[in-house]
Structure 1
């Protein structure tokens, strides 16, 4: 639970660690979902009062938006980093799905994915959130497509399916794994058919 970083000085509120509070709020949204993470649950998780939470991040929607950005830059970014660092395309696709599954099944974190399993449920009734998720999906597809296109250019992959089609399929597999994990599947169960998914992307 986040703690205030300084003792209260006379006439002034104690300073807070916004990064620590945001991490705690992200975990709460990830575990409970947007609707389940009431302001009471959020203040309990972050260890700060409602006025302090509002002053630091704004309302619940703004806090959720900040939590999504925080997740996307930390846990959510790990699969893409693994994909970029792998030396060959088969290793890249394997690493992408493996690291994603590992992030979905940590012992010390909620299961599944904050974006795929929680934010997506709220997007239908929240236009700004839907737009945000669509942009994130498009950016991921473009990132993956660029690598697949380079592999086609050097002869490591066939031109069909197109690089974009491969990227979309890989992203869909990642989200499907997250949903399975959220539904109670273990890491071993999520990864049990990994080679089949890799082959489908590289076909």
Structure 2
């Protein structure tokens, strides 16, 4: 059920899929969903948590990896702009956009995931500043929040069939990463 919910929310949007529709797709009854997840918010939370383990973990793995700073930036940009897994955009971005329509448990998870992502981007920028690969021309936390938002915007554009490379190139340019920017555009 969790995998079906995750894929349905991801492909169609978290507010576009009814619990009844999910139950039909999974071949389960609504009462069984309530027994397993407590309520619809529990299912939405479980679907987003599953997405985190399946998809967002790759982003965090790249950011924490052994690659050099510019290599990490290129890999993240590739995931956002070209990786086949993100043809439908990003479930996290979609849920974050619809956060006020999500239940309390899901809203808490969205906030925790956003914080984790910004912290990972901040660590990346600190690493880049320490190795001299990032000029550090803006405060790290601001740069991390900006990079996180722009990658989310690029994923959202991709889901709408637009070219996300322009957003990514602009984001990297603003951060002073002109070499990485020219590779994306």
Same fold (TM over 0.5): yes
CA gap of 1:87–1:35, structure 2 versus 1, over 3 A, is: closer
Give the TM-score normalised by structure 2.
0.80
Moved over 6 A (4+): none
Within 5 Å, which residues of 2 pair with 1:64-143?
64-85=44-65, 87-101=67-81, 102=83, 103-105=85-87, 111-123=88-100, 126-143=103-120
Give structure 1 stretches of 5+ with no counterpart: 1-20, 106-110
Contact 1:123 1:129 in 2 (8 A): no
2:144 is aligned to 167
Q: Secondary structure at the match of 1:80?
A: helix
2:27 is aligned to 47
Give, in whole Å, the separation in 2 of the partners of 1:162 and 1:68: 30
Contact 1:24 1:46 in 2 (8 A): yes
Which of 154, 171, 174 is the aligned partner of 1:200?
A: 174
2:126 matches 1:149: yes
Within 5 Å, which residues of 2 pair with 1:5-44?
21-44=1-24
Contact 1:145 1:163 in 2 (8 A): yes
Question: Following TM superposition, by how much is the alpha carbon of 1:115 offset from its aligned partner in structure 2, in angstroms?
Answer: 1.7
1:17 is aligned to none
Aligned CA-pair RMSD:
2.4
Give, in whole Å, the separation in 1 of the partners of 2:134 and 2:96: 34
Structure whose alpha-carbon radius of gyration is higher: 1
Q: Secondary structure at the match of 1:117?
A: helix
2:183 is aligned to none
CA gap of 1:149–1:169, structure 2 versus 1, over 3 A, is: same
Greater helix proportion:
2
CA gap of 1:95–1:201, structure 2 versus 1, over 3 A, is: farther
Question: Following TM superposition, by how much is the alpha carbon of 1:31 offset from its aligned partner in structure 2, in angstroms?
Answer: 2.6
Give, in whole Å, the separation in 2 of the partners of 1:37 and 1:85: 36
1:6 is aligned to none
Q: Secondary structure at the match of 1:74?
A: helix
Give structure 2 stretches of 5+ with no counterpart: 178-185
Question: Which deviates further from its counterpart, 168-177 or 123-132?
Answer: 123-132
